[in-house]
Amino acid sequence: MPTERPQSVIARYRSLVDAAVRRALDARGDTELYCMMRYHLGFHPAPNGSPPGSGGKHIRGVLCLLACEAVSGETADASPAAAALELLHGFTLLHDDIADRDETRRGAATVWKLWGVGQAIAAGDAMFALANLTLGELTTSTATIANVLLALNEATLRLCEGQASDLAYEGRDELTVDDYLTMIGAKTAALFSAATAIGAEVGGGSLTQIEALRRFGQEIGLAFQVRDDELGLWGEEPELGKAVGSDLRRNKRSLPILCALSLDHPVAERLARSLAAGVGSDVEAADLAAEMEAAGVRTHCAQMAHAHLARALARLDSVPLRDGPAADLRLLARYLIQRRE
Amino acid sequence: MPTERPQSVIARYRSLVDAAVRRALDARGDTELYCMMRYHLGFHPAPNGSPPGSGGKHIRGVLCLLACEAVSGETADASPAAAALELLHGFTLLHDDIADRDETRRGAATVWKLWGVGQAIAAGDAMFALANLTLGELTTSTATIANVLLALNEATLRLCEGQASDLAYEGRDELTVDDYLTMIGAKTAALFSAATAIGAEVGGGSLTQIEALRRFGQEIGLAFQVRDDELGLWGEEPELGKAVGSDLRRNKRSLPILCALSLDHPVAERLARSLAAGVGSDVEAADLAAEMEAAGVRTHCAQMAHAHLARALARLDSVPLRDGPAADLRLLARYLIQRRE
């Protein structure tokens, strides 16, 4: 069997997730609240004609469908759950944009920028409620529906804890790499692990399968965020997306910055001085990034991502799973730490 | 049997709701996120020593407990649901304060004012998740837990729809009393009706009992909001609370304002002129309120509240209920349209 490219696997499952999210929205109204959600999710222009952003890769929804198949379920069993995960993720991005005062996301104006803060808060809250309601469409037992609803909200609570820490951390000098890992464990990995655990549960997996897939999700969530931070400093400038080096200019303590500050190397002092004074230009940010790379920080980050990947793959190998979807999960996991955007 | 005062009924059940909310929070962490929630709910001062507000009357939680007893359940059966309703209500107030840029609530600085907008959004999101998780503590069947979770999120979605309309309505001239009633049906009454329906469901009520109590909740929710708008214009100035007349000064289309504008009476034109120019002082607001009262607007609002109360009481009379709790529900319903704060 020829090996499929990870992008094609994602594209195939992404279209199923996309359709499920659209169905969840179409079952509801057409008021301003839903206009905001549709715009934010990349489905529809804003009333003023502003084109929406790309809508994202739906990684969490894709992971949920694959986890369901891996325990011998059908994608149709999990599609409301995949939609719920993407609605939940979308709600957190919508609210994060307000907190960070970000004016663009995925190349488009953010919801708060177009509709105002109050409306954007309401749209996010409504997406969270709609995520929960979409789980009511699952055709499993009511016991599973109740479990999955609680699992999604447990992940959301962890995510809010992570978001609150992330905001509290901005500009704090005493922050360590361990603090950072705790924070991304909550802010990013909690929803990845909920995605794979929920997929396995609605697919009828055993308790050991569900637990193995939950931990697989947790580890690739960590790997994903580590890669994200690396791309934030050394990635190629994505078309109209987040500017490379913006973490430096905003004094946001991302992983490479924390690693560099902890080094016994001249770059540590140089970076601390620049952050204290404020990184004033893109040129200065690029110079700092180059120095950090030369000091081995980028390699260290890549090694951390690989360590989480290895633990994730070991979790998958620890339980019997259906071959095809398990291979796709491995492919996807490797892709997440190699992706360029 | 001597008639109990409504305030004593509320106080008795309020302490049960209060204890249930504290238990839900105590089962969780002690991080900044929970500090914000405890402060917002009136349980604890802010880290800077700011004393918290009063914490409110917990009407929704009280209604939930009484509805449970009315169908022959025990208050202990419903206490996680009562806590969930108050956490949910608290979350919406926390986010509304950001949207309205309100700097005080119940005599205390608002969460966003003390912690910033980003943290306040996260605290509200977390309270919503915690409300859902608290329903997982119910000792009923998993089918009931799933139902009740979906009912709470359905109400929240309606509530967000109402909030989005309310924000969109500010300063719009073409708004009618019917638009207003649709808006408060979603923004206020949806959670009241969820409170009584959920109480009846966890108390083991029949479908007709649940439906009657749901509609009872809907009607008293409408009556409650109509009274709220009336107090906003003609109430006594509560100690350090929301200023009387602030709806006029902010050009917020509350019920009395919409009623006055729809009249064939000189006050309609006078009011429209003042709102267009901006009501610049408390004296001007007080003069306008007096003119509106003289034109019969206050009486009309009171009649509307009474009409909803009558429909609510008719719903209660339509099904067999336990005498004591049903009498308390009637007492509470009457109190809500006569209260002075």
A205 class by beta-carbon count within 10 Å (0-12 exposed, 13-18 middle, 19+ buried):
buried
Site from A40, A160, A172 to mutate, B interface, most B CB atoms within 10 angstroms: A160
Which residues of chain A does B157 touch, with a Cβ-Cβ cutoff of 8 Å?
28, 126, 129-130, 133
Confidence band (pLDDT; 50, 70, 90) for B55? Answer: confident
What is the rounded CA–CA span in Å between residue A198 and residue B54? 40
Phi and psi, residue B105, nearest 5°: -145, 130
DSSP collapsed to 3 states, B272-292: HHHHHHCCCCHHHHHHHHHHH
Summary mean pLDDT of chain B: 93
- Among the ranges given (A19-33, B226-240, B272-286), the one the predictor scored with the smallest mean pLDDT: B226-240
For residue A35, the model assigns a pLDDT of 95
Phi and psi, residue A280, nearest 5°: -90, -20
3-state secondary structure of A279: coil
3-state secondary structure of B108: strand
Chain B window 259-298: which residues touch A at a Cβ cutoff of 8 Å? none
Per-residue DSSP letter, A318: T
HSE (CB half, 13 Å, CA atoms) of B180? 23
What is the rounded CA–CA span in Å between residue A83 and residue B151? 19
Summary mean pLDDT of chain A: 93
Least Cα separation, residue A60 to chain B (angstroms): 19
3-state secondary structure of A108: strand
Per-residue DSSP letter, B136: T
Confidence band (pLDDT; 50, 70, 90) for B240? Answer: very low
Model confidence pLDDT, tens digit, residues A77-96: 999 999 999 999 999 999 99
Site from B112, B121, B148, B250 to mutate, A interface, most A CB atoms within 10 angstroms: B121
- State whether A95 and B125 contact (CB < 8 Å): yes
Which letter, b or e, does each residue of B41-74 get, where b requires 16 or more Cβ atoms within 10 Å of its Cβ? bbbbebeeeeebbebbbbbbbbbbbbbbbbbebe
For the cut 70, the answer to whether the pLDDT of residue A237 exceeds it is no
Candidates A121, A143, A146; nearest CB to B149: A146
What is the rounded CA–CA span in Å between residue B272 and residue B51? 40
Chain A window 131-150: which residues touch B at a Cβ cutoff of 8 Å? 132-133, 136, 141-143, 145-147, 149-150
Nearest to B106 by CA among B209, B234, B240, B7: B240
Per-residue DSSP letter, A243: P
Query: Terminus-to-terminus CA distance in chain A, angstroms?
Result: 28
Across residues B262-267, what is the average pLDDT? Answer: 94
Site from A31, A153, A154, A169 to mutate, B interface, most B CB atoms within 10 angstroms: A153
Model confidence pLDDT, tens digit, residues A51-78: 999 888 999 999 999 999 999 999 999 9
What amino acid occupies position A90? G
ipTM for the predicted complex: 0.95
Instruction: Please say whether the dihedral angle defined by the alpha carbons of residues B222, B225, B227 and B233, taken in this order, is positive or negative.
Output: negative
Higher pLDDT, A24 or B2: A24
Which residue's structure tokens are 């003069």? B287
Confidence band (pLDDT; 50, 70, 90) for A29? Answer: confident
Confidence band (pLDDT; 50, 70, 90) for A320? Answer: very high
Which residues of chain A does B129 touch, with a Cβ-Cβ cutoff of 8 Å?
128, 153-154, 156-157, 160
Model confidence pLDDT, tens digit, residues B243-261: 678 888 888 889 999 999 9
Strands (E) across B132-245 are located at none
Model confidence pLDDT, tens digit, residues B10-52: 999 999 999 999 999 999 988 999 999 999 999 999 988 989 9
Name the closest residue on chain B to residue A30, using Cα atoms. B161
What is the rounded CA–CA span in Å between residue B222 and residue A24? 29
- State whether A118 and B98 contact (CB < 8 Å): yes
For the cut 60, the answer to whether the pLDDT of residue B54 exceeds it is yes
Candidates B99, B123, B128; nearest CB to A128: B128
What is the rounded CA–CA span in Å between residue B209 and residue A221? 47
Across residues A241-266, what is the average pLDDT? Answer: 86
Q: A267 near A256, Cβ under 8 Å?
A: no
Q: B69 near B324, Cβ under 8 Å?
A: yes
Which residues of chain A does B124 touch, with a Cβ-Cβ cutoff of 8 Å?
121, 125
- Among the ranges given (A235-244, B73-82, B171-180), the one the predictor scored with the smallest mean pLDDT: A235-244
Candidates B119, B132, B163; nearest CB to A164: B119
CB atoms within 10 A of CB B170: 13
What amino acid occupies position B72? S
Confidence band (pLDDT; 50, 70, 90) for B239? Answer: very low
Model confidence pLDDT, tens digit, residues A272-310: 999 999 998 889 999 999 999 999 999 999 999 999 999
Q: A183 near A166, Cβ under 8 Å?
A: yes
3-state secondary structure of A221: helix
pTM for the model stands at: 0.95
- State whether B117 and A128 contact (CB < 8 Å): no
What is the rounded CA–CA span in Å between residue B312 and residue B333? 8
What is the rounded CA–CA span in Å between residue B187 and residue B55? 20
Nearest to B268 by CA among B241, B240, B226, B297: B297
Nearest to A247 by CA among A166, A305, A339: A166
Packing angle, helices A32-40 and A117-135, rounded to 10: 80
For the cut 80, the answer to whether the pLDDT of residue A148 exceeds it is yes
What amino acid occupies position A18? D
